[in-house]
A and B are shown apart, each in its own frame.
Chain A
Amino acid sequence: MTRTTAVEPRLNDALVIELAACLSADRVHTDHLERALYGRDASLMRGDAGVVCFPRTTAEVQAAVRVALRHGRAIVPRGSGTGLAGGAVPVQQPVLIVTTKMVDVEVDLANRVAWVQPGVINLDLTRQLRPLGFHFAPDPSSQQSCSLGGNVANNSGGPHCLAYGVTSAHIVAIEVVLPDGELAMLGGLGADPDGYDLRGAFVGSEGCLGIATRIAVRLTPNPPAVNTLLADFVEPAHAAAAVSAIIAAGVVPAAIEMMDQRITQAVEAFVGAGYPTDAGAILLVEVDGLPSGVAAETAIIEQVCREQGARSVRIAADEAERMLLWKGRKTAFGAVARVKPNYYLHDTVVPRTKLLDVLQQVYAIAERHELIVMNVFHAGDGNLHPLLVFDAAEPGILERVHAAGEQIVRASLEAGGVLSGEHGIGLEKQSFMAWQFTQPDLDAQARLRDAFDPHARFNPGKVLPAGSRCGDLAHLDAQHRDRLLADGVWV
């Protein structure tokens, strides 16, 4: 690992004292261990959290933000730290505001929303809503640990976002402490709040436009009927073709997930979900809704899969079998840890009809770089998640991993795709932004950021590459990534 810049923490005592006065001394941490712990998220990046705060209320968040502003310190919001793009990795020794103690939920059935504090864990919310007949539709694979604030900031997706839409479609209003310390309600319970859609601008803004302190999420009624199918293919190509054929048949299932042989085997060894380990790829497809539609779509999907060469199509017989099939998918990342200690994950999206092409390129790229690649992804949306698994202790491996990742990104863009489907840009994919956007495109995004945060106090150094506003990015190249990384961050 190379350390680009070493910054020794120099703590401003007055800052810590004032923060402790706003919160309480036991909820403002400055020790080395804690700062190191909160220096990372689930990506490979690391930074140094200057001071780590754990507010409980909106008023405490606002007070902490104001103290940080007075001391000229950057502010970085953080939820559970499961982000994969370095979004919560602290840059410029900021005041890190961790939301894990903000976990209140208030259900408002008459408006079909729940008001949640940002630290509420995605799955906890759904568990609380289920008995009432509702759930929160976005279900990232990390839903056991990721926070709603993180979901909002990254506009997270999940298997069931194919039919239900990503987080943005489920957020009605957001109470935000803005980068100048003011409190604002973006959006609202009414259908058409006045002015520009600031709610929409905030969702997916990766902690750069302020910190969400209360969120009104839409409640989705639990479907009366659900079917989960497992289709088993000899060739990944056939599985990919089946994905396009299902959509082309006019069916938009609740979810279509694909897993290739390597990941299927790893998962099967890990949880015993009953996946066929000799399959070249499997598809996990779910349909839900009213019973006759579910039956009709199940029949279409089964037929399409068989026409595309599925060896077998299994329909979960009961809730227990259904849960087991999903458990395999949702613990895939855990299973990977048993193969190699590290993984690097890309998150590009390609047109669904290009899935097969790009997948084949992904395999070729991994082979060229002598890397192991596993694919487990939201196939229905064309959202690839190639996992390059490796052992960081092996000399020179990180260079190969990054080179392969870069080529995967290029291949996806060439196919008409985009850089990220759900994990965001953070620190990690910043240097690729100029591959997808022109200078005027980036400049427009920078204007939106400037409107909220003209002095770049919130989550500085994230999302937009340096120079987006006016500089010349014409020669920007990912090989210069090291120079683009902000001070104090190392890979």
Chain B
Amino acid sequence: MSAALAPVGPLPDRVVRDPVLLAFADQVGGQDAGPVAVQGGRTQWNLGGTADPAARLIRAPSGVVAFEPAEMTVQVRAGTTLDELDAVLAPAGQRVALQGLPAEATVGGVLSVGLSGPMRLGHGPIRDTLLQARYVSAEGLLVTAGGPTVKNVTGFDLCRVLVGSYGTLGLLAEVTLRTRPRPQASVWLAGRADPADLFDRLYRPVSMLWNGAEVWLYLEGYPDDVAAQAALAESAGLSLVPGPPRFPAGRRSVPPATLRHVRLDPAHQGHFVAEMGVGVVHGEWPGASPAAADTAVVALNRQIKQLFDPYGRLNPGRDPMSVPTTRTGQP
């Protein structure tokens, strides 16, 4: 190889050397170190099955590692609470699509549970915010999934599988998340209106909730746009309110069209809050139960768990396949 063709420089070190992450991996231990689970803020501790009492409980490291506003990404340790993260992002006028949760909920807990909040219609599901994950495998090794850039299709997309895996495939140590600009204006409205009709008349509302009688609408954006959309909603019978309703306990997901077509017995009004356009229903839903997954899908879930954790040591007792249709309500 001639000098002119020499490599540009050394390749970056791919091995994770952050002592904080290595210490977390040591805590998890190797394949023979027995069952282990991470506790975050314990705000959804009972979701996805009961924790096996034999599992050693550990905490993921916390702290924001790097935030570069011009990149619109943030590298944060999994044990960081959402409030701590928000405090770092807010001064730069940015945020991640994970707000409105209890102060003690952790980034790792939210991602491991994988349920999006009521802004999903406008902000997208939380799975799309995760760019890179560093997790500890069942063998006790630090593994990097995905990449730190805002766009990346290098290899199989392990990040998607980690979101909503309840810590059964790997224990999240540190993640890189996509951030977004905070909006200049936002407003909640509510009133009696036909939700499907209103939904079709608005351009990309951030959230629309319906309890069988009343509609709640959340708008964000540039002030004049928000005002114009709000005026549209007001002409349909809505008026300004301070915030969304309280969600009743219980959670189910249905195809969004179900919410348009449901025939309601007036007795059900007020017993549920549905996320229009998304298909999440909080509370008692009068409709039919969702169909069970294909046997092939169940088999794939088992195979993935078997290959990632043949020892059954990661968060035993939890199984994303068994998350009941009635999920605990208010975050």
Contacts and interface: CB of A to CB of B under 8 A. Distances in A.
Q: Do A and B come from one complex?
A: yes
Contacts of B137: 440, 444
A353 B298 CA distance: 43
A414 B257 contact: no
B296 A182 contact: yes
A155 B156 CA distance: 10
A381 B150 contact: yes
Interface in A165-209: 165-166, 168-169, 178, 182-186, 188-201, 203-205, 208
Contacts of A252: 72, 180-181
A157 B151 contact: yes
A142 interface: no
B329 to A, nearest CB: 14
B156 A191 contact: no
B152 interface: yes
Interface in A398-412: 403, 406-407, 410-411
B14 A437 contact: yes
A414 B156 contact: no
A224 B153 contact: no
B181 A194 contact: no
Nearest to A444: B143
A198 B293 CA distance: 12
Contacts of A154: 153
Nearest to A446: B156
A418 B160 CA distance: 18
Contacts of B257: 108, 110-111, 189
B280 A349 contact: no
B19 interface: no
A197 B293 contact: no
A199 B157 CA distance: 10
B151 A383 contact: yes
Interface string A343-385: 0000001111100000001000100110000000010011100
B63 interface: no
Given A293-B225, A403-B5, A444 B158 contact: yes
B277 interface: yes
A452 B302 CA distance: 11
Interface stretch (A14-22, A284-292, A328-336): A284-292
Interface string B217-240: 000011111001100000000000
Interface stretch (A88-96, A117-125, A266-274, A419-427): A419-427
Contacts of B294: 183-185
A445 B158 contact: yes
Interface stretch (B52-60, B76-84, B113-121, B263-271): B113-121
Given A201-B160, A248-B70, A189 B153 contact: no
A372 to B, nearest CB: 17
Interface in B180-228: 180-181, 203-204, 221-225, 228
A450 B181 CA distance: 39
Contacts of A201: 156-158, 160-161
A484 to B, nearest CB: 15
Given A190-B290, A410-B8, A293 B222 contact: yes
Contacts of A292: 222-225, 228
B296 A178 contact: yes
A108 B260 CA distance: 13
B32 interface: no
A381 B308 contact: no
Nearest to B141: A440
B4 A421 contact: no
Nearest to B11: A435
Contact of B124 (A169, A184, A419, A425): A169
Interface in B252-310: 253-257, 260-261, 275, 277-280, 290, 292-294, 296-298, 300-301, 303-304, 306-308
B250 interface: no
Contact of B71 (A293, A351, A425): A351
A189 B256 contact: yes
A438 B143 CA distance: 8
Contacts of B164: 192, 196-197
B154 A425 contact: yes
A423 B153 CA distance: 7
Contact of A289 (B11, B93, B225, B261): B225
Nearest to A173: B255
A466 B290 CA distance: 42
Contacts of A204: 153, 156-157
Which secondary structure characterizes the binding site on chain A? mixed
Contacts of B320: 194-196
A464 B224 CA distance: 50
B303 A420 contact: no
B181 A413 contact: no
B297 A165 contact: no
B144 A195 contact: no
B99 interface: no
A100 to B, nearest CB: 23
A442 B137 CA distance: 13
A111 B141 contact: no
A292 to B, nearest CB: 4
B280 A352 contact: no
A435 B155 CA distance: 12
B15 A417 contact: no
B148 A416 contact: yes
B84 to A, nearest CB: 22
B149 A349 contact: yes
B14 A352 contact: no
Contacts of B154: 418-420, 425, 429, 433, 436-437
B282 to A, nearest CB: 11
Contacts of B300: 178, 184, 196, 198, 451-452
B321 A195 contact: yes
A247 B155 contact: no
Contact of A293 (B125, B221, B296, B306): B221
B228 to A, nearest CB: 7
Interface in A433-459: 433, 435-438, 440-442, 444-445, 447-452
B277 to A, nearest CB: 7
B15 A438 contact: yes
A137 to B, nearest CB: 12
B317 interface: no
Contact of B308 (A186, A350, A383, A444): A444
Contacts of B225: 289-293
A369 B4 CA distance: 8
Given A111-B255, A418-B149, A445 B160 contact: no
Interface of B: 4-5, 7-12, 14-15, 68-72, 93-94, 114-116, 120, 124-125, 127-128, 137, 139, 141-145, 147-161, 163-165, 169-170, 180-181, 203-204, 221-225, 228-229, 253-257, 260-261, 275, 277-280, 290, 292-294, 296-298, 300-301, 303-304, 306-308, 320-321, 323
Given A155-B157, A201-B157, A437-B154, 14 more contacts: A165-B124, A165-B128, A191-B279, A198-B161, A198-B297, A200-B159, A244-B70, A293-B222, A296-B222, A420-B153, A441-B145, A449-B156, A451-B307, A464-B156
Which 5 pairs, one residue from A and one from B, show the smallest C-beta to C-beta distance? A200-B160, A292-B224, A110-B257, A189-B255, A290-B225
5 contacts: A185-B297, A247-B71, A293-B225, A410-B11, A438-B14
